[in-house]
Chains A and B, each alone.
Chain A
Amino acid sequence: MSTPFYVSPQQAMADRAEYARKGIARGRSLVVLQYADGIVFVGENPSRALHKFSEIYDRIGFAAAGKYNEYENLRIGGVRYADLRGYTYDRDDVTARGLANVYAQTLGTIFSSAGEKPYEVELVVAEVGAEPEGDQIYRLPHDGSIVDEHGSVAVGGNAEQISSFLDQRHRDGMSLAEALKLAVQALSRDTNGTEREIPAERLEVAVLDRTRPQQRKFKRIVGRQLVRLLGADDAAVAKTDDPSDEAAEE
């Protein structure tokens, strides 16, 4: 194979972007939604130990699609950044906006430096406020751009389709059970429009719950609580259009 002497910057960037996008598209998509009491993260993940969602700081959560080792590296960098900042100044001085900026700079520098391969990741950084108006959700694509999102956001290979599905159906003030069911519905739709079923044990769900008495608002939803929220029987989940199971919410 021969190496061309000159590649235009446009072409080089386009190639790198395509490379990153393809990498991200290999994994499953995930969604992040606002609901009445906070922000919920939902994704399909057969692993119990390797998480797509995690806690960064008191009110800040992290979600990532793409290459595990790369986003894990960024996640730990973010935890270090947040803990160091909170230790140097104060816990209130750690914000999602600050963290998203640092991630954007990091991803941007990696994306445009010729010596490094671009990261095949797409991140979401979310912070739950004391009131729903204070919630912040930032989406960070592989190239280091930063998008301020509201209501719902999807990242990963099938993100565009899922996003438009969610945009039509998501509304403010949904209960956790409603938001969760909507998210699962969105994730269950394949590119060709057919629906498949995602059993509860293949779902990874976490919330930033502003009503938690603890300072740390991040919580994983697993096991019985998850099944309860999805409605008693899994088979019904994919079909449920009108989730009215208020009592299921804890």
Chain B
Amino acid sequence: MEANTRSTGRLPAAFLTPGSSSFIDFLADHSPELLPGNRRLPEGIVEAPHGTTIVAATFPGGVVLAGDRRATMGNMIAQRDIEKVFPADEYSAVGIAGTAGLAVEMVKLFQLELEHFEKVEGATLSLEGKANRLSTMIRSNLGMAMQGLAVVPLFAGWDEGKEKGRIFSYDVTGGRSEEHGYAATGSGSIFARGSMKKLYRGDLTEQQATTLVVQALYDAADDDSATGGPDLARRIFPIVTVITDEGFRRLTEEESSELARSITERRLEQPDGPRAALL
């Protein structure tokens, strides 16, 4: 790695060898010890902070991906303002639930993988290609997942070929499935999914879609102790991102606080949130 470069000052042979456009493949050849999957695993269960709930929903023209801000370790809140939703590249985003440290590292490597490919090839991967790449990375983490260090992301992006927003969910083995309409992952996902099931429609506007996901996060926080609701006192609000054909955009703090405030206000009158019709 770095040491090799320094010893002669010259780029090591591996850097100039024609090869694949994948940064992970390059690491595997050149400095395998830097790959998370190649680490030696200690015995037993390791306890580390866990990220909790990520939700996503599509709307005509794009897709919304959002996450709460809480990380927990057992019954303790490890962090109140963790960020769990990241841009993967200009047209996609990834939200992570599971062991926070590993997940953040995986996102960093994933972002780099997409960027590296883009720079070397001069073209971006297809959305499907990106989703598959993430699948491989989760699979390589299976050993650690068995010890309780699982990472389960939610991947969403704008498909330029199909001209629509798409969502992919994963399991710990790297199994990938495309979700239609809405999806959630993490400990609060059961409640978030129930919430979205009642509220989701195929013809939402971008603004309605962002409201939908924040409502779902509120419901998840309402019933799951590991998910954090909007913290008005500390001004910590969910991270909401929107991806359209114009690319990735994260709602500003002003926009997301406004959204969270208006939802919280309505919940003061109606604690269970908006009602769906009985029939």
Interface residues of A (CB under 8 A from B): 49, 51, 54-56, 73-74, 76-81, 83-88, 101-103, 105-106, 108-109, 214, 216
Contacts and interface: CB of A to CB of B under 8 A. Distances in A.
Given A76-B18, A214-B90, 6 more contacts: A73-B16, A79-B120, A80-B23, A84-B27, A86-B112, A102-B10
Given A87-B34, A102-B10, A105-B8, A74 B119 contact: no
A77 B10 CA distance: 11
A106 B10 contact: yes
Tell me which of B18, B116, B119 has the highest count of chain A C-beta atoms within 10 A of its own C-beta. B119
A214 B23 CA distance: 22
Contacts, number: 67
Nearest to B123: A49
A79 B119 contact: yes
A77 B15 contact: yes
Contact of B1 (A55, A73, A74, A84): A84
B79 interface: no
A220 to B, nearest CB: 10
Interface of B is mostly: helix
Contact of A87 (B5, B8, B109, B119): B109
Contact of A105 (B9, B16, B30): B9
Contacts of B90: 214
A80 B15 contact: yes
A80 B26 contact: yes
A77 B120 CA distance: 10
Contacts of A51: 122
A109 to B, nearest CB: 5
A interface majority secondary structure: helix
A145 to B, nearest CB: 14
B232 interface: no
A84 B9 contact: no
A241 B84 CA distance: 54
A34 B90 CA distance: 27
B122 A49 contact: yes
Contact of B11 (A81, A88, A214): A81
Contacts of A76: 15-16, 18, 120
22 contacts: A54-B119, A54-B122, A55-B119, A56-B119, A76-B18, A79-B116, A79-B119, A81-B15, A84-B1, A84-B2, A84-B27, A84-B30, A84-B31, A86-B112, A87-B27, A101-B9, A105-B8, A105-B11, A106-B10, A106-B11, A108-B10, A109-B8
Contacts of B1: 84, 88
B116 A73 contact: no
Interface in B108-124: 108-109, 112, 115-116, 119-120, 122
A105 to B, nearest CB: 4
B203 to A, nearest CB: 31
B2 A85 contact: yes
Interface in B1-48: 1-2, 5, 8-11, 15-16, 18, 23, 26-27, 30-31, 34
B23 to A, nearest CB: 6
A74 B16 contact: yes
A79 B2 CA distance: 14
Most buried by B among A74, A80, A81: A80
A102 B9 contact: yes
A88 B23 CA distance: 13
B252 to A, nearest CB: 13
A83 B5 contact: no
Nearest to B31: A84
B156 to A, nearest CB: 19
